[in-house]
Amino acid sequence: MHDSIGSLLNSLSVLFSRAVNRPAILFLKITSLFAFPLSSPPNPSSFPGRRCGSNRATLRMATFSASRIAVAAAIISLLLSVTARRDVAAAPLRPFPANATRAEAGERQVMEWVRFMGRLRHSTFQHALAREFPSYSLVVDKNPAFGDFTSIQDAVDSLPVINLIRVVIRVNAGTYTEKVTISPMRAFITLEGAGAEKTIVQWGDMADTPSGPSDRPLGTFNSATFAVNAPYFLARNITFKNTSPVPKPGASGKQAVALRVSADNAAFVGCRMLGAQDTLYDHSGRHYYKECYIEGSVDFIFGNALSLYEDCHVHAIARDYGALTAQNRQSMLEDTGFSFVNCRVTGSGALYLGRAWGTFSRVVFAYTYMDNIITPRGWYNWGDPNRELTVFYGQYKCTGPGADFAGRVAWSRELTDEEAKPFISLSFIDGVEWVRL
């Protein structure tokens, strides 16, 4: 264990010492590393170095097995070592008494972070950060002559392990065939494409794709082409694609996620999510999707997030029967669910609006156009009649040949004005507090 911690400390120190020598970015890296969230650490397997001119330094960490305390110690040790370096003395951190031990200084740093977080919540937090920390941008381009990086993951990995400033990653036109993961503490990332049809990130994993030395299946969760695990993420004008083919009806292990969102306060504007089975894993947190195109066959919007889909186009490519949503609310105490407002539902096959993955599944469609692909029953109980007593499935002022409520299952509902009101605005996801587009 001590060897692991020592190796981690050395690796972090070397990583920082090899960082680019641009003063502005170096200052931002230092100031954004003063905090340590009180949560489980991520498991990064590598930290590719960043590019500066023609120089690129790359570091690889074989494992990241240290405990949460070890990670805290590593970060604090790095901070203290930085304060002793003359070349970054102009980038001040929180001062501490000269006679303080490293442990005392480290404890003080952590407690200041706790107090700082305690004073700031939601939008107040975001506005405070906007004032205190300037943002900067990075450019990704397939041609290294026109960007800072040639891959999106390298750009993400160049950020501090704990990021507290808004960083814009501009991804120029091109198809980027890579698997991308935003680690849990790299918050406040904006990903901007050159246009949803021009900038594409794609990969082809499925749930049954073998992984690791033992060739164990990845599983649905890890099949994602792009995975967001950090809060305050914003994506604009980019396509997230899983290239796996449409599976045959009843096929096993063919779930293929294009985008997984497992963090709070994430927004997507003008994006495309392309796949077949399980395209968009709307896993957890509060999310906002605006003017997005989402394509799939079975359960292609699924998870247990609290999400608002506004002005989106949902397109089915089912060969036979399919389902648009599979919402996984498990308790009446969970504040989760999907709301579709001013959307369009088109495509092929016969489509359920939703399947009751969770016992208390909650989905609402309002002011939405539905093509004739919607099966008259509308909803499926996942083979469990008991769920008919606990789910919340509703429509409100929807139009189109598939919106006729006359044939719907008795346990769905056509909402009144009062019943629909909580679902049709940003207040559904507390969006007034955090949505900044």
Instruction: Considering the candidates 157, 205, 278, 299, report the single residue annotated as catalytic.
Output: 299
Per the structure block, which two tokens stand in for 418? 């009062």
Do residues 364 and 336 touch, judged by C-beta distance below 8 A? no
299 is catalytic: yes
φ, ψ (nearest 5 deg) of residue 103: -65, -45
φ, ψ (nearest 5 deg) of residue 23: -55, -40
Secondary structure in 3-state letters for the chain: CHHHHHHHHHHHHHHHHCCCCCHHHHHHHHHCCCCCCCCCCCCCCEECCCEECCEECCEECCCCCCCHHHHHHHHHHHHHHHHCCHHHCCCCCCCCCCCCCHHHHHHHHHHHHHHHHHHCCHHHHHHHHHHHCCCEEEEECCCHHHCCECCHHHHHHCCCCCECCCEEEEECCEEEECCEEECCCECCEEEEECCCCCEEEEECCCCCCEECCCCEECCCHHHCCEEECCCCCEEECCEEEECCCCCCCCCCCCCCCCEEEECCCEEEECCEEECCCCCEEEEECEEEEECCEEEECEEEEEECCEEEEECCEEEEEEEEEEEEEEECCCCCCCCCEEEEECCEEEEEEEEEEEECCCCCCEEEEECCEECCCECCCCEECCCCHHHHHCCEEEEECCECHHHCHHHCCCCCEECCHHHHHHHCCHHHHCHHHHCCC
Rounded-to-integer distance, Cα 170 and Cα 147, Å:
9
Do residues 206 and 245 touch, judged by C-beta distance below 8 A? no
Residues belonging to the active site? 299
